[in-house]
Amino acid sequence: MNKFLKLVRVEFKRIFSNDVLLAIFFGAPILYGFLFGYVYQQAKVVDLPIVIIDQDRSPTTDKIIDAFGDNEGLLVSDVRYSAGDIIAEMPTKQYAAVITLPSNFEADVFQKRHPEIRVDLNMANILNANTASVNIQSVLMTLNAGMEIEALKKQGLHPAQAFSSYESFKINFNKLYNSTGNYVTFMLPGLLGAIMQQIIFLAMALVFSRDFEDGYFGKLIRESKSSLYHIALKATPFLLMLPLIWMAVGLFFPYFNIAANVFNFPMLVLVTLLTLASMAIGMLFSIAIPSQLKATELLMVISTPAFILSGFTWPTMAIPSAITNIAQFIPLTQFLSGFRKVAFYGGNLSSIKSEIGMLSLIAIVSFVFMVILLQIKIHRFEKKSKTTIEGIES
């Protein structure tokens, strides 16, 4: 045991002697957590620039323009009386929408000719376009209803009758699980999970490949011929440090006022299994590929698209089944699926049974392959060493 603890201290020294590993392992979660948190801190998209082309110049169109100006999601950048060359302006102005109020609009409204307001949406940014569309529809539908009710009142109907004649039924939307539409609550948890998987992958990719490259692996084999011994030796420093990093990451939730229940036992199980599965995959690559650069490059191939493939932001039913089937074997996919069930829906362990099972399977299969492959490498190294010694003696 004393020998094992001594070697663990050596492992810590080797970890802390690698500036790149330290920067990634300790710096990335904190730096990216603050960076992404502040990027989405505004919580929702506001002040999207729009242009209004008022070809009618009437009191009614003035009222419409004022209504758009009062909407927090939209910013009336310009009101003009002809379109001009808006296409030429788009590269610099990047208007979210162009709204055209046609000539004779007010007269057509009063004479029940149902004039048409044209809305041209800029679809280059889907999020901005959807947000602009919702806000524009909200303004125009409110105004449309108001105008219809006013027309009925002018026909002699009592205000209450006019209102009930226009409104055939009521609609009541009740928003659940992130009721404010807070973008920090939506995006940051998924990004933090992706960052943690990536730093674990990159850190573990170096543990054995570095030893293969600098010859330290041979010194370790003289201490023990057991692959389990060496895996425990390499994993111990990270198993001691990773809980501290996870705790630091968890503090981003209260810091950015993210309404998600993350400090509970089911979440602890998910975090633990994501850590173990990611460590097992990272160490397996580190053993299979005796090059730090190649091991990290191949793990990046897995890690880079993981967030997109996880279904956290883009629904999995819209992704081809062949791709989603592959994504099921990436730890982050299972973690984020379980995260949403626990943090937002208040689920318990039974709610995430499938995610727990899949993460456990990934960790166990990777661990078994890791043990077998490392034992083979130890055996080959021993055989090669004996051959070399016999060659020298002869």
Sequential DSSP letters for 66-128: HHHHH-TTEEEEEEESS--SHHHHHHHH--SEEEEE-TTHHHHHHTT-----EEEE-TTSHHH
Question: What are the structural domains, with CATH classification, of the chain?
Answer: 2-40+183-393 (no CATH), 48-166 (3.40.1710.10)
To the nearest whole number, what is the mean pLDDT of the chain?
A: 86
pLDDT of 29:
85
pLDDT at 294: 87
Confidence of residue 167 (pLDDT cuts 50, 70, 90): low
pLDDT for 199 equals 92
Which pLDDT tens digit goes with each residue over 319-374? 888 888 888 999 999 999 999 999 988 899 999 999 999 999 999 999 999 999 99
For the cut 90, the answer to whether the pLDDT of residue 244 exceeds it is: yes
Residues 295 and 285 sit within 8 Å (Cβ to Cβ): yes
* Residue % of the chain over a pLDDT of 90: 41
CA distance 127 to 133: 10
Q: Read off the pLDDT of each residue in 193-204 and give the average, rounded to a whole number.
A: 92
Inter-helix orientation angle 183-204/28-39, to 10°: 160
- The pLDDT of residue 234 is 93
Contact 225, 383 (CB under 8 A): no
Predicted confidence at residue 2, as pLDDT, reads 81
- pLDDT interval class at 23 (50, 70, 90): confident
**Contact by Cβ (8 Å): 81, 101:** no
- Position 169 confidence tier, pLDDT thresholds 50, 70, 90: very low
Query: Of residues 266 and 219, which shows the higher confidence score?
Result: 266
Residue 389 has a pLDDT of 58
pLDDT digits 0-9 by tens, 96-147: 999 999 999 889 888 888 889 999 988 887 778 888 999 999 898 888 877 7
pLDDT at position 323 is 86
Q: Give the tokens for residue 276.
A: 């173990």
Q: Is the dihedral of CA 364, 366, 372, 374 positive or negative?
A: negative
Closest C-alpha among 207, 200, 216, 203 to residue 234: 207
49 DSSP 8-state letter: E
CB 21 within 8 A of CB 51: no
SS3 assignment, position 53? strand
Task: Determine the 3-state secondary structure of 172 from DSSP.
Answer: coil
CA–CA separation, 234 and 334 (whole Å): 25
Mean pLDDT (whole number) for 251-258: 91
97-101 β-sheet, strand order: 74-80, 48-54, 97-101, 118-121
260-276, pLDDT tens digit by residue? 889 999 999 999 999 99
Paired with 97 in beta bridges are 50, 121
Between strands 74-80 and 118-121, the pairing is unpaired
- Reply yes or no on whether the pLDDT at 157 is more than 70: no
3-state helix, strand, coil in the chain (%, to 5): 70, 5, 25
For 52, the enclosing helix (H) or strand (E) is strand 48-54
Is residue 43 over pLDDT 80?
Answer: no
